[in-house]
Structure 1
């Protein structure tokens, strides 16, 4: 790899590592303020938390541990813990609303102003939003900052994935999403002990936000996307990148040749032979095509169900009867196998891996639900739920690539935007099916049933592994027709 490629990869990995700290701030805040209202939980038999109350980081009723005393003393000093505990429950909702808002305009901003400046601004704003509540502990300010942090997090994701992929040769484009997801999982594990060691609200915010703030100077040297520079005709910047080293020059020549070929191919696909040159067809006509509508509906549902299950378990990890901080650590550890997904995709393809992951996720969540109803071990209940979360993360990872390969060039970005919007709506719906930091019975049924339905819907999609990207609706119709897998075919493969 060239020095510029290495610069992109390790700096984006560092950003993702620290972004996870503030992503789970509401989980840590809810765990720390649970001591402010002992016994204020929903009834047993209706929620996981009612069946298995958290064991490790809470004291017995009537007793006050040393850490809880610190949090309560903070409230008397104006550090706002128990004084406005009820306000904190809205922090997660506003954060998810911020993710939804960021998905609406994050891509447009990066296309217009460049991925690098949008990424740098969002990382700076996110770090400042994490530090401010430590200096100004006001409930309304905290909620506004959580929404702004969610917007920045979504824009960081959009710009980071695009930058990493566009600095990678086509043959290796499966690996950047896996690498960034793995770094986010490492950050999830590292954030848990930091939060556990924070004795007050002020120190919690500082310990989770200061690392990103300190590393801001390292991010300034992140290079811009070569594809965006080529589109904007910023050849002086490209020439400066080429002059860094021979390896950078060779890398840029390869990437720009690929980008130029893709742009010419997309430009030709935007014109139909039956129309005069220069007149692009109406995108609405393509979106109404039965093939596009079917694929758009299936992918939208898969992303909605994936977000509902993944974030439902991820943001309510303390509801399985295990200490929140240890559960959060193992939640990040359970996502480490995502690095194996590119190998699985190369071996078995997109559709089989998606179907297997959806089925295993639904089955694991269903077993977790059944064990919780019959007083199973909390560790086993949480382990099954984390297995379901890992499988849904696999579905999310595959969907990033699958969606690009399913839709034609003429409407690809619009279809992907609609699919992404459904993903964010699924995140937001979690706030309606979970309450008081506990996963209800109805919510767990949704988490297990949604993936099962999605597994069946995958039968309607074709396998796109090794198939050229479609440029028109006609190319989509010429793709291999979806067929249910047969035992004979699987035996012949073996």
Structure 2
């Protein structure tokens, strides 16, 4: 019995049909790169201190009202306290000179009763300065990012199952609409609470749209074109959108204007509904053979080739209809020992990669004095990372390539704590190497995961793995806050996770040079390295076949 790739070989790999699907789906990921990390600028913390109202103070006392503190060996103005204003007013009225007639350290301090003054040297406004997310409310700043990634987590989990149930195309466009609409309505948020609710729903569609586009293209395209699409095409367009973000933020320094600019490009993709088809693989898995054949015949017409009179053989069609009688769910990912081992390892690796990727990406505003340059460097390093992932997927083992890139990301972060303070550029370079490793690994794991699972579970599996990755992204904002306790603690945690994940990746099945599995039985036939933690008594072949048809 021919597999899907052999059956559709008459289309060729790079006709007008494949070219249109390739470029349109790649272009759809540009808004993802533009929007997913906009929170770096929208929720950044400007320099700030307590407001000192005009109360007949001399200039000397006006400047001295904010205490000086030592933070990380440097002197800076206190962000959350000031000297008691009534005391300062009396001392100023009596003609005392601060620091000469009065020892400032002896004065009593109070909180910022009149609010805060925020620097506008970098930003005109962020949600931090708009809603005063500082001092006692500072926990809301990283929690804002976490709420966003929780939305991404929920969207990734449910969109995968919805896509396997109702089709790739409807979920792709539905999540794109959710992403665009809620990114737009955030602009009108009157409070932090309302903003956070809208941000959560924006996250529902953000990466879910990316995953749906990824799976749709992976199933429509074949051969080396599929590898090019999954490892370089969508990823490179995501990086292009990411590199555009600091440019937008530089010219639009108000958070509302930036979000407006991020949301509007989504409207350009409405016409894609009439240009992008449903996945024929998914239609076949649901027994909708006539619809699948109609798409392939239209593709043959666009490619100017002749389609066979009967594309899918009758016995193959009957078997596919039988398979379509049962809808698969996320429970199928842990039903048998082989599939369960693959799923558990992938979830660990995805969690690590996402924690590292978003932890380092959200930390860009702290790398140098100019967050725009730091963000651009963080985005630009993704371009060689995606090129490297494409070359690795094209010519080398999936298993070994993924393990090596994750290992590279982890080791480089370990070395940061060995760099002397006199060489800050070297620390930045090592952090960029870590970002390179995590980005390269993420690109490969998207392709690797899609190749390991059969059509009936592919989007559910990808959605589940990205759900675990979003758990990592949810923890990333708070992980980077651990540097307040020990500067290198976030790097040590990320490095340890990366090395453990690199080792676990070696026990995954190999998929290099093999066709996409269509059934769970075909997935069971993939060879893997033996792992004592997961290896069980081999399931009899008859039982495997029975379980795959349940």
Same fold flag (TM > 0.5): yes
The aligned counterpart of 2:264 is 210
Q: Which one is further off, 4-13 or 342-351? A: 4-13
The aligned counterpart of 1:54 is none
The equivalences for 1:57-456 within 5 A come to 64-65=119-120, 68=123, 70-71=124-125, 81-83=130-132, 86=137, 87-177=140-230, 178-213=232-267, 215-227=268-280, 228-230=282-284, 231=286, 233=288, 235=290, 239=294, 242-243=297-298, 246-248=301-303, 250=305, 287=334, 289-337=336-384, 338-371=386-419, 374-406=420-452, 416=462, 418-435=464-481, 441-456=488-503
Q: Which one is further off, 314-323 or 93-102? A: 314-323
8 Å CA contact retained: 1:303, 1:396: yes
User: What's the CA shift string for 1:273-302, capped at 9, x where partnerless?
Assistant: xxxxx9999997994654444333322221
The aligned counterpart of 1:19 is 32
Distance 1:7 1:284, change over 3 A: closer
The Cα shift of 1:335 comes to 0.7
8 Å CA contact retained: 1:461, 1:482: no
Structure with higher Rg: it is 2
Look up the SS of the partner of 1:225 in the other structure: coil
User: 1-side partners of 2:254 and 2:326: how far apart?
Assistant: 62
Look up the SS of the partner of 2:350 in the other structure: helix
The aligned counterpart of 2:110 is none
8 Å CA contact retained: 1:106, 1:154: no
Distance 1:280 1:194, change over 3 A: closer
Q: Which one is further off, 324-333 or 127-136? A: 127-136
Look up the SS of the partner of 2:274 in the other structure: coil
Higher helix share: 1
User: 1-side partners of 2:29 and 2:524: how far apart?
Assistant: 35
User: 1-side partners of 2:388 and 2:415: how far apart?
Assistant: 25
Look up the SS of the partner of 2:495 in the other structure: helix
The Cα shift of 1:446 comes to 1.2
User: 1-side partners of 2:185 and 2:321: how far apart?
Assistant: 47
The TM-score normalised by the length of structure 2 is 0.69
The Cα shift of 1:381 comes to 1.7
The Cα shift of 1:376 comes to 4.5
User: 1-side partners of 2:405 and 2:313: how far apart?
Assistant: 33
8 Å CA contact retained: 1:106, 1:155: yes
Higher RCO, 1 or 2 (CA under 8 Å, sep at least 6)?
Answer: 1
The TM-score normalised by the length of structure 1 is 0.76
The aligned counterpart of 1:8 is 21
User: 2-side partners of 1:286 and 1:133: how far apart?
Assistant: 36
Tell me the matched-pair count: 449
Distance 1:158 1:408, change over 3 A: closer
Look up the SS of the partner of 2:46 in the other structure: helix
Gaps spanning 5+ residues in structure 1: where?
46-60, 272-277, 484-494
Look up the SS of the partner of 1:223 in the other structure: coil
User: 1-side partners of 2:461 and 2:279: how far apart?
Assistant: 24
8 Å CA contact retained: 2:161, 2:460: no
Distance 1:292 1:89, change over 3 A: closer
Distance 1:142 1:283, change over 3 A: closer
8 Å CA contact retained: 1:114, 1:224: no
The Cα shift of 1:98 comes to 0.6
User: What's the CA shift string for 1:78-119, capped at 9, x where partnerless?
Assistant: xx7254564444321111001110122102322344333332
The Cα shift of 1:312 comes to 1.1
Distance 1:261 1:434, change over 3 A: farther
